[in-house]
């Protein structure tokens, strides 16, 4: 699976997937014109690094700095302000050419931001189970190929496309799953931009954060407060935003019970904390003693082990004195989703988040009707959800349980993830 470094260059073409199955019933809105490659307006200058709080981690960047990849274009457009800038031509990335094929840790070209994009020097990126799905290609949506995965990247802005407003060099930015949307269609108008037919997805249809420099739509990129620990905040950019939105979707009241199925994983470990911060009582479901201790340490009041429980539905109903008011399904298990509908109390809401390949929701209709339960899908979050989720983190209410390893170790993380052995989130350091 793992191939050592090579000097190969990767084509930068970005075919857009024609279909977004996540919003198959969405009206197709007008498509936003995306300009072909254009010149970055400004880039970070060496002197700016000296006063930058991230300088210590940015220093190795100079070692490989040769000249700006965009030099000729910039000269052609006569932008004097960037005369002193230095960006490397190449960078380290993990790339795959085919779904399920070798994950190559190698040198590729540093991408150029388009006119609506910022270029982020990704310092750290979380590794989401979605990245594993993307590599395997087990969803009914084709990935771009070759692909650089990753959609939880955090780092300073180092270049701006010429139409970018509201960002400056050195600001801290986050790469989210939703990299761009048309902003014109009915869904975007109502703040449902993840459901836009023209959604552009980091680490899926757009090269993502498993590289040292990544481009992000300036409108959708997340704003990270200065001084934030970039490794800690990385998992918020997908896992945090997603579970926060899912909890909002469950429509609970403070003091009510929420069951979190898959609670010991990346999304689940944050869901426990957001739920507690929002005033809900958590019954966590996952497997093994290590996950039990872990979930309890994060704020779960009860834990049910899906590996040893003889009847999960009965156990949840007993633990919550009559059934959970809401369920957040972040496991990668079809069976767990079916159980969630059964252990809800009347009028409860089961929120679908985890995306096991080929899974279907199976619910007894009679029970669903007489209990008047709801089953709702929840898909990442919009810009407001993102800002709110980051704000919970910035106020110290959420601690990301992370383990940091080098980007080159990504294949090993996928193996552990496949085996369900990860507690919390792995975060990769893009310089290793
Ligand atoms: O917007 C979205 N809807 C969204 C956003 C981000 C991620 C959806 N996801 C999807 C991913 O694509 C993936 O399918 O959510 C799912 C979970 O992502 P993750 O949290 O990054 O995965 P993980 O860290 O591997 O955690 C999964 C946990 O589920 C447990 C495992 O033990 C692990 O802790 N689990 C499994 I697998 N089967 C279980 C079961 N039957 C179970 N827990 C309880 N019952
Ligand atoms: Zn994700």
Under a CB-based contact definition with an 8 Å cutoff, are residues 5 and 189 in contact?
no
Q: Is 406 in the pocket of ligand 1 (CB under 6 A)?
A: no
Interval between CA 329 and ligand 1 midpoint (Å): 8
Q: What is the 3-state secondary structure (H, E, C) of the chain?
A: CEECCCCCCCCCCCCCCCCCHHHCCCCCCCCCCCCCCCCEEEECCHHHHHCCCCHHHHCHHHHCCCCCCCHHHHHHHCCHHHCCCCCCCEEEEEEECCCCCCEEEEEEECCCCCCCEEEEECCEEECCHHHHHHHHCCCCCCCCCCEECCCCEEEEEEEEECCCCCCCCCCEEEECCEEECCCCCHHHHCCCHHHCCCCEEECCCECCCCECEEEEECCCCEEECCCCCHHHHHHHHCHHHHHHHHHHHHCCCCCCEEEEECCCCHHHHHHHHHHHHCCCEEEEEECCHHHHHHHHHHCCCEEEECCCCCCHHHHHHHHCCCCEEEEEECCCCHHHHHHHHHCEEEEEEEEECCCCCCCCCCCCHHHHHHCCCEEEECCCCCHHHHHHHHHHHHCCCCCCCEEEEEHHHHHHHHHHHHCCCCCCEEEEECCC
In this prediction, residue 85 carries a pLDDT of 60
Q: Take atom 12 of ligand 1 and give the residue whose Cα is closest.
A: 130
Handedness of CA 138, 202, 147, 421 (dihedral sign): negative
In this prediction, residue 359 carries a pLDDT of 95
Q: Is 338 in the pocket of ligand 1 (CB under 6 A)?
A: no
Interval between CA 253 and ligand 1 midpoint (Å): 25
Angle at 352 between CA 139 and CA 373, to 5 degrees: 145
Owner of token pair 């739920």 = 275
Q: Take atom 2 of ligand 1 and give the residue whose Cα is closest.
A: 379
Interval between CA 334 and ligand 1 midpoint (Å): 11
Of 163, 152, 76, 153, the C-alpha closest to 113 is 163
Ligand nearest to the CA of 234: 2
Give the Cα separation of 31 and 12 in Å (integer). 21
Give the Cα separation of 389 and 381 in Å (integer). 9
Q: Which atom of ligand 1 is nearest to the CA of 378?
A: 3
Give the Cα separation of 166 and 156 in Å (integer). 14
Q: Take atom 7 of ligand 1 and give the residue whose Cα is closest.
A: 130
In this prediction, residue 229 carries a pLDDT of 97
Classify 271 as helix, strand or coil: helix
Angle at 206 between CA 204 and CA 210, to 5 degrees: 75
Q: Which atom of ligand 1 is nearest to the CA of 335?
A: 41
Give the Cα separation of 160 and 44 in Å (integer). 9
Kindly report whether the peptide bond that precedes residue 146 is cis, defined as omega within 30 degrees of 0.
yes
Compute CA distances 411 → 101, 110, 151, 418, whole Å.
11, 22, 16, 11
Pocket test for ligand 1, best of 208, 267, 308 (most atoms within 8 A of CB): 267
Pocket test for ligand 1, best of 21, 139, 234, 262 (most atoms within 8 A of CB): 262
Classify 220 as helix, strand or coil: coil
pTM: 0.85
Q: What share of the chain is helix, strand, coil (3-state, %, to 5)?
A: 30, 25, 45
Q: Is 266 in the pocket of ligand 1 (CB under 6 A)?
A: yes
pLDDT per residue as tens, the chain (432 positions): 333 333 333 333 333 333 333 332 233 333 333 333 333 344 444 344 334 444 333 333 222 332 333 333 333 332 223 334 689 999 999 999 999 999 999 999 999 999 999 999 999 999 999 999 999 999 999 999 999 999 999 999 999 999 999 999 999 999 999 999 999 999 999 999 999 999 999 999 999 999 999 999 999 999 999 999 999 999 999 999 999 999 999 999 999 999 999 999 999 999 999 999 999 999 999 999 999 999 999 999 999 999 999 999 999 999 999 999 999 999 999 999 999 999 999 999 999 999 999 999 999 999 999 999 999 999 999 999 999 999 999 999 999 999 999 999 999 999 999 998 999 999 999 999
Interval between CA 220 and ligand 1 midpoint (Å): 24
């Amino acid at each position: 699976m793992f191939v050592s470094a090579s000097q190969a260059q990767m084509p930068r073409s970005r075919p857009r997937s024609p279909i977004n199955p996540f919003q198959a019933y969405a009206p197709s809105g007008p498509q936003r014109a995306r300009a072909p490659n254009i010149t970055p307006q400004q880039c970070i200058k060496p002197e700016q690094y000296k006063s930058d709080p991230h300088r210590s981690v940015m220093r190795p960047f100079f070692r490989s700095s040769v000249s700006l990849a965009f030099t000729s274009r910039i000269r052609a457009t006569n932008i004097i302000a960037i005369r002193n800038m230095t960006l490397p031509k190449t960078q380290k990335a993990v790339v795959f050419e085919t779904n399920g094929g070798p994950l190559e840790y190698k040198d590729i070209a540093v991408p150029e931001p388009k006119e609506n994009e910022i270029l982020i020097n990704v310092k750290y990126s979380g590794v989401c189970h979605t990245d594993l799905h993307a590599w395997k290609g087990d969803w009914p949506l084709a990935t771009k190929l070759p692909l650089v995965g990753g959609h939880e990247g955090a780092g300073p802005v180092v270049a701006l496309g010429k139409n970018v407003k509201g960002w400056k060099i050195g600001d801290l930015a986050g790469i989210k799953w939703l990299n761009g949307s048309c902003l014109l269609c009915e869904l975007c108008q109502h703040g449902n931009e993840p459901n836009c037919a023209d959604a552009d997805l980091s680490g899926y249809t757009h090269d993502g954060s498993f590289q040292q420099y990544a481009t992000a739509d300036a409108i959708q990129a997340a704003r990270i407060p200065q001084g934030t620990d970039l490794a800690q905040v990385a998992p918020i950019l997908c896992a945090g935003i997603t579970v926060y939105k899912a909890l909002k979707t469950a429509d609970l009241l403070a003091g009510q019970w929420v069951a979190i199925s898959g609670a010991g994983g990346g999304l689940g470990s944050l869901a426990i904390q957001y739920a507690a911060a929002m005033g809900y009582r958590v019954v966590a479901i996952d497997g093994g003693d290590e996950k039990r201790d872990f979930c309890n340490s994060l704020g779960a009041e009860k834990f049910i082990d899906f590996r040893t429980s003889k009847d999960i539905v009965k156990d949840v109903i007993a633990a919550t004195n009559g059934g959970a008011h809401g369920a957040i399904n972040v496991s990668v298990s079809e069976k767990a989703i079916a159980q969630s509908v059964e252990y809800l109390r009347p009028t409860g809401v089961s929120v679908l988040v985890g995306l096991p390949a080929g899974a279907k929701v199976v619910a007894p209709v009679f029970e669903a009707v007489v209990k008047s339960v709801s089953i709702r899908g929840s898909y990442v979050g919009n810009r407001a959800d993102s800002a709110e989720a980051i704000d919970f983190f910035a106020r110290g209410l959420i601690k990301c349980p992370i383990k940091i390893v080098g980007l080159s170790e990504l294949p090993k993380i996928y193996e552990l993830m496949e085996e369900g052995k990860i507690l919390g989130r792995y975060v990769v350091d893009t310089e290793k």
